[in-house]
Structure 1
Amino acid sequence: MEPQTAASLPSTAGQTTADNPWPLRVLSEKLKIHIENSPFAWVEGQLLEANVRNGHAYLTLRDVDADNSFSVTIWSSVMRKLETTPQVGSRVVARVKPSFYAKTGRLSLNATDLRPVGLGELLVRLERLRQALGAEGLFDPGHKRALPVLPGRIGLITGRDSDAEKDVLRNATLRWPSAQFRVINTAVQGVDAATQVMAALKELDADPDVDVIVIARGGGALEDLLPFSNEELVRAVFAAQTPVVSAIGHEADRPILDDVADLRASTPTDAAKRIVPDLNEEFSGLQLARNRLERSINNLLEREAQLLAAVRERPVLANPQVMVTSRAEDLARYRQRSSDLLHYRVQRARDEITHLKSQVRALSPQQTLDRGYSVTQLADGSIVREAANAPVNTEIFIRLASGQLAAQTTESLPAGDAAR
């Protein structure tokens, strides 16, 4: 292959081919030009390394929530202007610009300013995040799940061989000796803490035997507790199906995890007391319940015995014949009353019949006949009311008060002549 001249080199990366490639230095130069044309940017991170040599500072800056890091160089001219010397573990913001070292292809950052993040600024950020998550409803009491009365297995996320782990295990076992735990040890501070806690939470939440999950740490400085205010971790706790107890143990400036958890315990010891009942208290409660039940039964039996004694002392049980005798007297009295009433009603009816007979007799034709009157009838039985009804030689029958006469008319006179 013939040596390439500057005029024969492709002008862009897209024009390169296997037969007409760029020398590596050309790519490095073009990358350097492209990268170093990037503008300045303010970034935030945590210092993992801080070496100061000959007035220059060589730092390793790592993201506070993810496993991303960059080498940062601060030249002596900038170092002299800084108010504080960079310290390993401190959280900082830096004004940086990318730098590409073409010889080795090494990408780094040059810082023109470096400032530690103060507690006041951290608190402001946490409060802003807390308000935003609260507005989304992550802290709504209606979403919080009740803890089981007696969990079958307790999931515990805490630091390896930590005091928090010992406190939870010891106090929970003292209260309920048969308590079972599944412990997952994770980092509880630093850049890996939030990621490891989320992974452990996911694993325990997927375990059907785990009824409650405790995230415990024995307090610490605000910077150490920052992983427990990580937004991703807070959302993971909100989405968990298993009740979560926060036992970070930091009363002042408490992490956001306390707000989203289903239960906040002030300390790991307090968490142990909240997740399992006290066996001695339960036995005492059972004994009190048994005593109350025994007293209630005894009182009931005594009351029923008194009622039974009162019933046995009644006259009807002392002399059972009283029931028959009293009822016989009542029956005799009712029979007499019925007989008297019936006799009275019969007498009244007899008097009414006599009265009616008198009235009938007073109004009957026989009574009129008894007074001397008679009734004249024709042969057909019809009553003669006028003389014209019985002309001469008419056979008539005269009914008297006693007996009847047969006669024949000899003369029929009009009403006026008869009167004369």
Structure 2
Amino acid sequence: MSQALLTVTQVNRFLKSLIEGDGRLGDIMITGELSNFTGQHRSGHMYFSLKDDRSVIRAVMFSSAVSRLRFRPADGMKVIIRGRVSVYEASGQYQLYVEDMQPDGIGALAMAFEQLKARLTAEGLFDPDRKRPLPPYPQRIGVVTSPTGAAVRDILQITARRWPLAEIVFCPVLVQGESASAQITAAVQALNRARACDVMIVGRGGGSMEDLWAFNDEALARAVAASEIPVVSAVGHETDFTICDFAADLRAPTPSAAAELCTPDRDTELDRLLAYHRYFQDKGLGTVQDLRQRVDLLLRDSPLNRPGDYTLARRARLEELSARLEAQGREQMNTRRQTLALLSGKLDAMSPLKVLSRGYSVVYHGGKAVRDLTGLPAGEEVTLQVETGRRQAKLV
């Protein structure tokens, strides 16, 4: 009997049918350590190996299953995997096709939380220097939470009791489920774009880690950290912590506590105002009394109470100033007279009339003084100026 000749493809296909036909390998749970993990491929798939101390098996996790992961796998991580065993015909290798993966020893959500927290902490997203103070007297308080939960009722009641001047700007969102984190993120961003409030409360009431998971979203954490409006995170109860708590400017243990942290107490502020009023009133009355005493003292010592003394003193002062002014005037007059006499003597000494008094004369011809006679012919008439007057004469 001749033996059948098989192709490689036929052999691989036959082995694949044998393995897939065994129901025990169609849905198995297997534990081991991840190795040869190459990260997420651009197609969205993950390729790695699963090993223990004796053996290793190759594995693949397609993008549809990867999208359901709550944490980031890494080499050396112990995991529990659910999947099926089959043969990849092209290479003839049998491998594990992974449908679900959970950390071994810690829940997937807890690991995802710690991984995201560590990564954002390393980026500095939670640094205390980034935190902004809350406004002391907010006029508008933004509230991002479920419209049907107890959180919004508690916030409204406490705000109305403590600080009724504040207006509540409410953004109703889902706080649980697949679309919750996207809605919460969009509400935070919308309040910022509109500058709709002075401070913002983001939160919900208590629940399991799965119920609160929307507040562990990376996009929400980044939106809260980037918010120009101070954000108070109030998720769950005092023992619950979320990524949103670390990204916010302030964490409140409950939504009720958040409302108290965001609002001053009206009665306390009123008491403070009354104390200030009493202080300034007492201070003002004391100042008025002090000024009144000073005015009384000035009036008692004022010359207005003795007008005669005031008039006599001012008259004596006026007479003294008048005498000094008169003396200065006489002294200046004498000085001016002496200066005038001196200048008059000098002017008189230089006068032509003074020269004529000593026997000299001045000859005029044509109205002008003659300095040289050579230009005048004999018989020419001239005028002689002497001390006592003028006479006509002829040259000979």
TM-score of the pair, normalised by structure 2: 0.53
Do the aligned partners of 1:165 and 1:216 also contact (CA within 8 Å) in 2? no
**Residue 306 of structure 1 aligns with which residue?**
293
Q: What displacement does 1:212 show?
A: 2.9
**Residue 224 of structure 2 aligns with which residue?**
237
Q: What displacement does 1:132 show?
A: 2.5
CA distance in 2, matches of 1:212, 1:328: 76
Tell me, yes or no, if structure 1 residue 130 matches structure 2 residue 117. Answer: yes
Tell me, yes or no, if structure 1 residue 255 matches structure 2 residue 274. Answer: no
CA distance in 2, matches of 1:125, 1:292: 57
Deviations 1:355-411 (A, max 9, x none): xxxxxxxxxxxxxxxxxxxxxxxxxxxxxxxxxxxxxxxxxxxxxxxxxxxxxxxxx
**Residue 366 of structure 1 aligns with which residue?**
none
SS at match of 1:220: coil
Do the aligned partners of 1:157 and 1:185 also contact (CA within 8 Å) in 2? yes
CA distance in 1, matches of 2:147, 2:104: 29
Q: 1:177 aligns with which of 164, 169, 173?
A: 164
Q: Structure 2: which amino acid aligns with 1:243?
A: P
Change in 2 beyond 3 A, CA 1:174/1:129: same
Do the aligned partners of 1:198 and 1:233 also contact (CA within 8 Å) in 2? yes
In structure 1, list runs of 5 or more residues that go unmatched.
Answer: 1-28, 33-37, 46-59, 67-91, 101-108, 337-420
In structure 2, list runs of 5 or more residues that go unmatched.
Answer: 1-16, 21-46, 48-57, 72-78, 88-95, 324-396
Q: What displacement does 1:270 show?
A: 1.7
CA distance in 2, matches of 1:203, 1:334: 85
**Residue 23 of structure 1 aligns with which residue?**
none
SS at match of 1:238: helix
Q: 2:256 aligns with which of 252, 269, 273?
A: 269
CA distance in 1, matches of 2:113, 2:295: 75
Q: 1:40 aligns with which of 45, 53, 59?
A: 59
Q: Size of the alignment, in residue pairs?
A: 262
Q: What displacement does 1:307 show?
A: 0.5
Q: What displacement does 1:331 show?
A: 8.4
CA distance in 1, matches of 2:252, 2:171: 19
Change in 2 beyond 3 A, CA 1:283/1:125: same
Do the aligned partners of 1:65 and 1:191 also contact (CA within 8 Å) in 2? no
**Residue 157 of structure 1 aligns with which residue?**
144
Q: Structure 2: which amino acid aligns with 1:164?
A: A
**Residue 269 of structure 2 aligns with which residue?**
282
Do the aligned partners of 2:83 and 2:98 also contact (CA within 8 Å) in 1? yes
TM-score of the pair, normalised by structure 1: 0.50
SS at match of 1:130: helix
Q: How does 1:143-154 map to 2 (within 5 A)?
A: 143-154=130-141
SS at match of 1:313: helix
SS at match of 1:200: helix
Q: What is the identity percentage for the equivalent residue pairs of Structure 1 and Structure 2?
A: 35
Q: How does 1:195-206 map to 2 (within 5 A)?
A: 195-206=182-193
CA distance in 1, matches of 2:309, 2:321: 18
Deviations 1:311-360 (A, max 9, x none): 12226343233334456678899999xxxxxxxxxxxxxxxxxxxxxxxx
CA distance in 2, matches of 1:197, 1:137: 22
Q: What displacement does 1:163 show?
A: 1.6
Change in 2 beyond 3 A, CA 1:303/1:249: farther
**Residue 167 of structure 1 aligns with which residue?**
154
Do the aligned partners of 2:169 and 2:196 also contact (CA within 8 Å) in 1? no
CA distance in 1, matches of 2:126, 2:148: 31
Q: 2:68 aligns with which of 63, 67, 70?
A: 63
CA distance in 2, matches of 1:117, 1:171: 44
Q: What displacement does 1:246 show?
A: 0.7
Note the aligned Cα RMSD (angstroms).
4.4
Q: Structure 1: which amino acid aligns with 2:203?
A: A
SS at match of 2:206: coil
Q: What displacement does 1:98 show?
A: 8.8
CA distance in 2, matches of 1:118, 1:246: 30
Q: What displacement does 1:206 show?
A: 2.9
CA distance in 2, matches of 1:279, 1:290: 16
Do the aligned partners of 1:42 and 1:94 also contact (CA within 8 Å) in 2? no
Q: Structure 2: which amino acid aligns with 1:143?
A: R
Change in 2 beyond 3 A, CA 1:293/1:117: farther
SS at match of 2:211: coil
Q: How does 1:349-364 map to 2 (within 5 A)?
A: none
Do the aligned partners of 1:168 and 1:269 also contact (CA within 8 Å) in 2? yes
**Residue 407 of structure 1 aligns with which residue?**
none
CA distance in 1, matches of 2:157, 2:220: 27
Q: What displacement does 1:164 show?
A: 1.2
Change in 2 beyond 3 A, CA 1:330/1:168: same
Change in 2 beyond 3 A, CA 1:328/1:287: same
SS at match of 2:175: coil
CA distance in 1, matches of 2:309, 2:164: 69
Change in 2 beyond 3 A, CA 1:65/1:176: farther
